Chains A and B, each alone.
Chain A
Amino acid sequence: MADPSTFAATTAGEPAKTDNRWRPYRAVLASRLRSQRSYRTSFRFDMVGAMLAGLVQLGEIWVVFHNAKVLGGLDFNAILLVFGLANAAWAIAEVAVGHVDSLPALIRAGTVDVYYLRPQPLLAQLITGDIQLRRLARVAVGLICVVAALIVNPIQWTVATVVMLAFSLLFGTVIFACLFVTAAGLQFFLINGSEATNAFVYGGSYASQQPAAIWPGPMKIIFGFLFPMAFCAYLPALQILGLPGSPLLPAWLAWLLPVAAAWAVLAAGAVWRIGVRHYQGGGG
């Protein structure tokens, strides 16, 4: 619960205003970090699990490329870069905001009412209410794949290459975070729809790992632009590898990554706000 004096100090405009405003969030986050350090065995087990999860996903891609050497103009080395970038960005987003997927349970149990009563934005409370360090293992898998891909692929290193790598990791993370928030916003309507959320979020991750050139036109519109998944990793990887791309999704589009991320933020914000207003309370 927020300390009432914090809220009072903020509204009164004390000198230490910003410091006080963030104090409740910091206190909650610090407690979550401390709690994870206490259960070391469980924590290690979770880390290994998360790492294996990343490897199983890579295994699936490897099996596909075991049957077809080149898909959508990319070979296994090239798809390794797409997979690494998509995985790292997705995993960072999951560490930062992934726990908003606890919302369906809160809505179903009616406990989300308490969040509405606190003097902090609902989304800010949910995001800062938890942070799962075990999910960092997934980030590591993604980054290792990126490094491996940068070594095995012939790459012309320029400033643009470095900027594109940073773009992909930064704005890719923003797009995935928006996916989590959009899915959470939909929960206010679906009630028991955690499966839909999972599929939404994992579906986005799955789409972002694919060589988008294989998609028929309507899919390029949906996963290229409506949900800008191709922008997270596929388009940046084309830029980095110096590959041309395909009609509707040419490689130069990668430079519009910030625009795609801005679109994702706007859409996620709208869905979330509509969801929060739609909620009628758990009764009782």
Chain B
Amino acid sequence: MQALQRPLQAVFNVLEGWLDRPFGPDWNPLYHLGALGFFYFWVVAVSGIYIYIFFDTGISEAYDSVEYMTHEQWYLAGVMRSLHRYASDGMVAMMMLHLVREFSLDRHRGSRWFTWFTGVPILWLVVICGITGYWLVWDTLAQYVATATTEWLDWLPIFGESVARNFLAPYFLDDRFFTLMVFLHIAVPLILLLVLWIHLQRVTKPEIFPARGLAIGSFAMLLGLSLFWPALSQGPADLSRVPAVVGLDWFYLIAYPVVEIWGAGPAWALAFGGSMLIAVLPWLPPLRKRSVAQVDLANCNGCTRCQEDCPFAAITMIPRSDGRPFEREAMVDPELCTSCGICAGACPTSTPFRRASAFVPGIDLTDQPLSDLRQRIHDGTANLTGDRRVLLLGCAHGIGTGKAVADNVAAVQLPCIGALPPAFIDYVLSRDLADGVFLAGCKGGECYSRFGLRWTAQRLTGQRDPHLRARVPRERLGQLQAGARSGKHLATAVRAFQAGLPQRPPEPESPRTREAETV
């Protein structure tokens, strides 16, 4: 599977790099594909409600009413019709890119299987919405779509009567068929909305609306496109004639040429087989489950910070079970935990200064405990010498900090940059383990574990607990700038940081003789 993911990842890497320059991480469309998909959905919904006001159901009325909107009331209903079409196409584009990108980043396995799996019916529902929508216009494209769809459906042994017979000739067509289509075109999007809601059930704080700048830009793009290239009908449908050449919407109707070339049976096999394959991808192969976060009640005071920061709703607060005078305690759902460690980074008891008691935070990863991180920092920095010693703390999903990127730099990996309690930075600098600490998150400014970069930035700037203490000299803290996406970028950034480190003032006392601090 990695052989498939790596080239895709490389392509996205390049595209993201290009888009980072004009957009920046907050507005880069590739980092917000799901939110953009939602945004287009809302544009489709609002524009659809408007054009429904003017739409007539009937064999001739349907086409005439759409023509009225397009030509007579072009400035509003016509624009709305175009917005409806282009936003629908944009939604398909975002959906497919979202799917491929999540797969390439391996964000579909393990505890994330549910979100991936529930995305598969969304693919079907979106396509059904599009097909029923094109049907309603009742132009030559609609005639083709109606005929081809029903001929394809008739292959399935589920209809008593041939559905395609409804479109044999004008004699067979009934106004009530349009009523049915309108019903489907309204009912299916509502079902889609329900499935979208289910899709996000295991995602904390889902991004369902893009950043304002990205939303404004996207809407302006749709509006401009609607004004300069309005959606048009392709001539009235006439069942006594064959629409030999049609202008297909390739976003929605790409399956139809496949049906005609391969035949209905193989096309169904491809549709169902492809959907099944996509659905089972999380288990091809299954992700090796790392040990999940574990709560240590002796150190948990039920402060809820871990629950607040968990990106996958894996932590719930339950009534206290150990009799201690706190209202609640954290509980981890192992099925939902992705072992990112962000909860340990959020815990106020995750402080490495502890000496009086064993370093056991209120919540921690059992196979990558923070006590182990403290030890690895000690081991890594032990060999640093001189006055420009740098500790590089990097995300395992980032550019790769498994080895030192420059002289006099010790590299230590974390499961996520958000798993780093800010107290560790204070600890490294105050204990003189290094002269500077450099943090390297995920590539391109988008966190593999969703919130690691965001929470870290907020913790370092004092906007989020636990925050970095004021006494920590900020000039000794470096961060990989978002947008950097290669080892070369990282090495350059670390060397620049190293070169800019100020000289340390003479220490009044040896760190070895400093009294232990406890929490």
A and B are partners in one complex rather than unrelated chains: no
